[in-house]
Structures are given as structure tokens and as C-alpha cells.
């Protein structure tokens, strides 16, 4: 570890990531609360958790704070977000992280455990198209113990209420404009800050080569499916039950029970 990396404020980067995400999702903590409530209700207070597309470890941190007996494995491909996660949780023996591409059909071979009590993910899988996501759900069914759960909290638009959707979009744009004027960083601004950090600059260049420049709108090939599609797809993948357990005007949390 270089001296610059050793001095990096990993906790500060974690907080700034959370704040940037909250700019898009002001109800972000509510979905996390419901997610952890359902973990406790279905699999108990000492879960082995796979934090899927973990980013900086937002879910990991909340799981470990709520459940002292939990163990977590975070999986992601983004070198910057994984560096922040590994730095932030460097002194936490309950957390580990794995670099893996979820589009690789063999990525689960990299995991330290064959089965997990819960697979949790938030605001990540809409970057995938429908068919790769079907395959991912099927692979995850084999990584969850019987009675375990998968939960995906993400953009899941209904599409049947265009006037309501337009009103929600206008309301959200007005709120975001006010918060941007107050200095809140959006997605592109946050990544611009990352690129200027001495400890993260080289990793940012690697990340931009993998996914594109955030200022230009990266991950443009993804799709957002309604909650009912996710529930049907989980059932077809081998889950015993599946349904939404939380929703907002634009997003939902779908739970699949093995």
C-alpha cells in the first residue's frame, strides 16, 4: 500500500457515495431498512450475505451494523468502488470482497462460500438487459440455501400510468435542481472528484476504460423492468415464492424465497 493510499479517507468516500446516491433516491434508507427487516424475518439475525454488485459496500455496512453475527461477501467489477469498499472495511474481519463480472457464467466459482442465506442488491441490476438478468437470477438460485432469500431493490417502472409518471419526474427534477444548487454532487460530478484523487486516479482511468465516461452517460445498454417481471422471472428461475415487499413511486424491492 502506498503512503497516499494509506492516508486516503475511505470513510469519507463512502459517505460521499451515499450522499450522491441519495440525491437520486431520497428514500434510499427506507428501502435498506425494509430489506434488512426481511432478512431478519426470513433467515434470522446471523446471516451469511452476498452483497451483489456491492459498489462501495453500502449494504455491507448496514448489514454488519444491524447484525453483529453476520458475515458478508461483496462482489463487484468496478475497481474504484471496490477500492473504496476494501479500504473502508479493511479492519472488519466479517467482510470480504471479490472482483467478478456478473456477465461471466462462471463468476460464482470465485465466491468463498457455495451457499448464502441472503443475496442482496440495490440500484445495480437495471444496468443489465433482460436476458442476461434472467441468467443471473438462475445462477443465484443455486447460490442460496433452501429457505434463503434474494432481494433486489431497483428502478422498476410500472409504465401504465403516464400522467402520474410525468408528475413524479417533474417533482424529482425540481428537488434535484434545488439540491444541486446547494452543492450536492451528481453521478458525473462524483466521478470527476474521484478522477482527481491521487489514490484513485489510476483506478478511475481503468474504470472509465471498462464502462465509459460517466459524464457521457455510461451503462447506456441497461433495461428497467417492472416489479411483476422480476417476480415472474425469479419463479421461473427456481424460487418458491416471489413478490414486491416495498415500493415507491418509481422503485421497488422484490423478494425471492428459495
Task: Determine, yes or no, domain membership for 83.
Answer: yes
Write out the residue range of the structural domain in which residue 178 sits. 3-184+217-257
Name, in order, each residue with C-beta under 8 angstroms of 107's C-beta and a sequence gap of 6 or more. 75, 100, 101, 139
Q: What pLDDT digit, counting tens, does each position of 103-158 carry? A: 999 999 999 999 999 999 999 999 999 999 999 999 999 999 999 999 999 999 99
pTM of the model: 0.94
Give the number of other Cβ atoms within 10 Å of residue 114's Cβ. 10
CATH code, 64: 3.40.50.150
Task: Determine, yes or no, domain membership for 190.
Answer: no
Domain count, the chain: 1
Task: Determine, yes or no, domain membership for 192.
Answer: no
Q: What are residue 224's DSSP bridge partners?
A: none
Q: What pLDDT digit, counting tens, does each position of 191-210 carry? A: 999 999 999 999 999 999 99
| Mean per-residue pLDDT, 203-232 | 86
Cα-Cα end-to-end distance for the chain: 41
Task: Determine, yes or no, domain membership for 203.
Answer: no
Task: Determine, yes or no, domain membership for 226.
Answer: yes
Task: Determine, yes or no, domain membership for 195.
Answer: no
- Looking at residue 183, the DSSP 8-state letter turns out to be T
Task: Determine, yes or no, domain membership for 252.
Answer: yes
Q: Reduced to 3 states, what is the DSSP secondary structure of residue 158?
A: coil
Task: Determine, yes or no, domain membership for 225.
Answer: yes
Amino acid at each position: 500500500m502506498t503512503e497516499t493510499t494509506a492516508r486516503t479517507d475511505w470513510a469519507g468516500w463512502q459517505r460521499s457515495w451515499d450522499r450522491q446516491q441519495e440525491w437520486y433516491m431520497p428514500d434510499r434508507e427506507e428501502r435498506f431498512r425494509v430489506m434488512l427487516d426481511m432478512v431478519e424475518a426470513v433467515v434470522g439475525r446471523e446471516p451469511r450475505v452476498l452483497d451483489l454488485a456491492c459498489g462501495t459496500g453500502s449494504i455491507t455496512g448496514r448489514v454488519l451494523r444491524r447484525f453483529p453475527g453476520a458475515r458478508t461477501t461483496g462482489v463487484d467489477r468496478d475497481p474504484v468502488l471496490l477500492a473504496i469498499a476494501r479500504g473502508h472495511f479493511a479492519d472488519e474481519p466479517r467482510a470480504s470482497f471479490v472482483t467478478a463480472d456478473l456477465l461471466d457464467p462462471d463468476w460464482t466459482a470465485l465466491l468463498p462460500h457455495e451457499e448464502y442465506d441472503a443475496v442482496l442488491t440495490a440500484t445495480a441490476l437495471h444496468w443489465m438487459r433482460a436476458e442476461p438478468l434472467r441468467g443471473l437470477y438462475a445462477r443465484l438460485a443455486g447460490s442460496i440455501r433452501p429457505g434463503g432469500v434474494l432481494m433486489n431493490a431497483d428502478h422498476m417502472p410500472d409504465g401504465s400510468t403516464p400522467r402520474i409518471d410525468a408528475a413524479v419526474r417533474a417533482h424529482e427534477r425540481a428537488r434535484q435542481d434545488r439540491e444541486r444548487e446547494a452543492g450536492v454532487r451528481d453521478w458525473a460530478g462524483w466521478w470527476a472528484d474521484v478522477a482527481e484523487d491521487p489514490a484513485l486516479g489510476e483506478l478511475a482511468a481503468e474504470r472509465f476504460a471498462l464502462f465509459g465516461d460517466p459524464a457521457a452517460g455510461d451503462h447506456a445498454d441497461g433495461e428497467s423492468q417492472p416489479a411483476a417481471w422480476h417476480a415472474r422471472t425469479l419463479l421461473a428461475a427456481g424460487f418458491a415464492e416471489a413478490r414486491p415487499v416495498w415500493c415507491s413511486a418509481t422503485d421497488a424491492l422484490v423478494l425471492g424465497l428459495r
